[in-house]
Structures are given as structure tokens and as C-alpha cells.
Amino acid sequence: MMKQALAMTALLFSLAAPVAAKDVVDVADLVERQGPAVVNISTTKLVKRGAEGFPFQVPDDEEMQEFFRRFFPGGPGGPMQEIPARGAGSGFIVSSDGYILTNAHVVRGADEVVVKLIDKRKFIAKVVGADARTDVAVIKITASNLPAVRLGDPARLRVGEAVAAIGSPFGFENSVTAGIVSAKGRSLPSESYVPYIQTDVPINPGNSGGPLFNMRGEVVGINSQIYSRSGGYQGVSFAIPIDVAMEVVDQLKQGGKVSRGWLGVVIQEVTSDLAESFGLDRPRGALVSQVQEDSPAAKAGLQASDVILAFNGRLVENSGDLPRMVGMAKPGAKIPLQVWRRGKTQELQVVLGELPGEEQLAGKGGKTYSRGGLALSELTPDQRRELKIDHGLLVEEVTGDAARAGIRVGDVILAVNNGKVATVEAFRKAIAAVPKGKSAAILVRRGEGSLYVPLKISGE
């Protein structure tokens, strides 16, 4: 009996072994083969320091001004000093001629970017382009015959599948960590355009921009964020799917920026109660709570209370699916929409516009504003009557500082530091008066209630 059991066990292993060997590699083999294509990135940014931090007012007397110039060169009347601020991250080579992927936040604002290879060679890199919305950047070094990673298909990833990361946590270069895929298609409050891969791979400061590998030795993601109360790894990390990143890369290499489709709606999740009230069979789709004037959505005939069920033939299961679908579509594309309206489905056609870039949002003559990560619009008379308020600004987009503060799309900003704001220009002036690193008290109308949100201005 024992011999028969052992024989059966051996047979099972002999049948299973070829399947496992075909797709899965050992982590040590993975590191040996793909590790040389992973790079360490160090950045330097010159930060001006001087008079703005001086603790008291200096008299206008010329002799006193000369005194402070001589004995307090960093103070009022003295020259501003440039202090180097250094940063670090990771990246990986995607082509043998020197193109490297990393996170946008790793190279943001850098005056110098240095790439170090595993063989200790160093190169000064040029930033080809960066996209803050997906946190993807492309940099280039002048070199040839470089080792490059193999790219995989994130769609083939399964929850529970083993994955590994290589990077430079806390500056410890070429460190390897491993774990499993915890979830797919995660939406984060700070980003609407990325369906993140969630893992339990240990990721820490310095890992940002490094590759996430499957066990076939293929890059499936770019390690980008962690969820942490301490600032360090606590079991939840997020990676940008490599297919999403490569779509951004292609545009950055061609023109240095990314063009995205724009629909022009404010949406919210369809809850069970809302689905029942609208006569839907189950919670699905994206509920339109507002249609912006003169937007592609308005021209297509979309209405508030419509539920968008499908975009260009793809089902919209959750409201977070729609911004990704729209953002990845080309401006000018004619897209079919399936919407649920008054108990039945309707088919609409929309010609997408182009989503304004962040630099455009900051200069739209009072219509939108982006410092602190907010895009705002002034309330129309109909909106003010509906909300029963006489002032306020509608939050249309949230990134950066505002996302970290917890401000949401659809909120109405009523006041900044107890000063009412009725125009974007008034908001701009109020926020401009907030020093970098300090917080403004933002009074927000959310639903039927109001709350104060501390918005800390980082200067990003």
C-alpha cells in the first residue's frame, strides 16, 4: 500500500512539474536575469532659502540694512542662498538605447537626475516627459546595448499570484522583496486614471518607480504608492499596471505630454438604494450628478440622473471605471454611450474633448484653478438655487494636496480661512496667501452638511 501511495505521488509530481516549469521562474533566477535592468535614481533640486524665514521686521534705515547684509547674509537685504535638496528612487530600462521608466514624483522639479546602473556606471539623465495624473515619467540616458526588462500582461495576473519587486528602499540599492497580488483594479482617492495593482510586497521610500515582476520574469507594474499610518510599509502597496504606463510612455516620447479624452460630467457611485430608486436590476454604472455647460456630454444630450452603463462597448461596473475609459480615449473620438434614463436604456453618441492639463487649469481666467490640487468652477444660478446657497465653488477635479486632505469631487467650497469665496479669483488670492507647508481651513459643503478640511499646501 505504501509503495502504491509513493508511486501515485511521484506520478502526480511528474505530471505537474512541466506545467510549473513552463511559466514560473525562481526568484533568484529572476533577479539574476532582470536585475541588471533595474536602476537607482538620485535627484538634486536647488531650493532658495533666505529672507522669507527671518523672524522679525528689519527697519528701513540704510545703516541697519547694511548691518544685516554683513552679519546675516541669509536674512533681509542679503542674497538668497540655493540649498541642494536631494531625493532618491528607482527605475528600470525599457529599451537598450537608454529609455527608463520611473515615477513622476521621483523626478518632479529636479535640476539634476543621475542614474546608476548595477555595474556602478553613472549617467546624467534627461527627463523626456512626466505625467502627474498617472505618476509615470520617462527619462533617457546616453548609452547603448543596455539590458532591458521584458514586459508582461497585467490582465493575466491573478489575485494570490506571487510577485517580486527590485528597488532601492531607504537607499539600499538593488534590494529584492516578494509577496502576492492582493487585489486588482483598485481606485485610490488621489487618482482616477489608474486601476492599481494592490500587493503585499514590502515597498518603502526609495522603491518608488521600480518594477513589479511576475514569476515569469516580466514587468507587470511600476511600484508607486503605499498605504501607511507610519510613513513606512504596513502591508499594503500599489503598482501602476505596465500597460497603462506604456500608453502614457508612447505619448510622452512623441510629444512630451499626454492628451486625454474629456466628457465633462461629475459622477458618483450607484449604491443599492440608488439602483432600486432608478429601477436598475443591481448597483452598476456611473451616476451623472452634474453635466458641465458646453461640454461634450452636454452636446451629446447627457442629463443629470443618467446612469452611464457602457462606454465604447465596455461595461461600466463601478463609477471609477469611467474616468479611466474616458481618459485613455483619444480627444475627438466619436464614442457610443449606453445610459439608463427613466427606467430604460438609451444609446447616445459623444465626441470627446481634450482634458485640460494641470498647467492649463491654472490659467483659465477664473473658471478653474489647480494650486493645491483642485480644479474648480463657479456655481451657476441654477446650482445655487438648488443648493440654497448664494456663493461657493464646485470641485471638479482633485489631486495632490487636496486629495491627501480628503476633499472630493462634487464638494462645494464655501470659505477659505473663514473668508467666503464666490469666485475662483477669490479662492486663488486666499490660497496664494498661505505659505508653503502651512494649512488653510477650507469650509466644504458635502451633501446636506458642511465640514472644515485642513488643506496643507506642499508647493507641489
Single-letter amino acid, residue 389 = I
Q: Per the residue annotation, which of 175, 208, 224, 319 is the catalytic one? A: 208
Q: Rounded CA gap, 378 and 121, in Å?
A: 53
3 state SS for the chain: CHHHHHHHHHHHHHHHHHHHHHHCCCHHHHHHHHHHHEEEEEEEEEEEECHHHCCCCCCCCHHHHHHHHHHCCCCCCCCCEEEEEEEEEEEEECCCCCEEEECHHHHCCCCEEEEECCCCCEEEEEEEEEECCCCEEEEECCCCCCCCCEECCHHHCCCCCEEEEEECHHHCCCEEEEEEEEEEEEEECCEEEEEEEEECCCCCCCCCCCEEEECCCEEEEEEEEECCCCCCCCCCEEEEEHHHHHHHHHHHHHHCCCCCEECCEEEEECCHHHHHHHCCCCCCCEEEEEECCCCHHHHHCCCCCCEEEEECCEECCCCCHHHHHHHHCCCCCEEEEEEEECCEEEEEEEECEECCCHHHHCCCCCCCCCCCCEEEEECCHHHHHHHCCCCCEEEEEECHHHHHHCCCCCCEEEEECCEECCCHHHHHHHHHCCCCCCEEEEEEEECCEEEEEEEECCCC
Q: Per the residue annotation, which of 42, 105, 237, 306 is the catalytic one? A: 105
Q: Rounded CA gap, 327 and 318, in Å?
A: 15
Q: Rounded CA gap, 142 and 140, in Å?
A: 7
Q: Per the residue annotation, which of 90, 131, 135, 175 is the catalytic one? A: 135
Terminal Cα distance for the chain, rounded: 71
Place of cell 523626478: 107
User: 269, 319 in Cβ contact below 8 A?
Assistant: yes
Identify whether 391 is a catalytic site residue.
no
User: 203, 175 in Cβ contact below 8 A?
Assistant: no
Identify whether 208 is a catalytic site residue.
yes
Catalytic residues: 105, 135, 208
